[in-house]
Amino acid sequence: MRLIQCSHPKITYYRDPLENPPINIDVVTHITKSKRSAYPDNVGHSAITFHFIGGTEAQWVYPFRDKREAQDDPNQYGKKKVVTVMDTTERDEEFDKLVKIFSIPNQV
Q: Is residue 19 a part of any domain in this protein?
A: yes
Does 21 fall in a domain? yes
Enter the pTM of the model: 0.76
Q: Is residue 108 part of a domain?
A: no
CA 35 to chain CA centroid, Å, is 5
**Per-position pLDDT tens, the chain of length 108:** 888 999 999 998 878 899 999 999 889 989 999 988 877 666 788 999 999 999 999 999 998 887 777 777 777 787 877 777 788 899 999 999 988 876 655 444
The Cα 41–Cα 45 span in angstroms is 9
Residue 107 lies in a domain: no
User: Is-contact 45 35, C-beta < 8 A?
Assistant: yes
- The predicted-structure confidence for 62-80, as pLDDT tens digits, reads as follows 988 877 777 777 777 878 7
Q: CA-CA distances (angstroms) from residue 52 to 24, 44, 58?
A: 9, 23, 8
For the chain, the average pLDDT equals: 84
75: in domain: yes
Q: Domain count of the chain?
A: 1
The answer to whether position 8 is within a domain reads yes
In a domain, 38, yes or no: yes
Give me the pLDDT at residue 107, please: 44
φ, ψ for residue 25, nearest 5 deg: -65, -20
Range of the domain at 47: 3-102
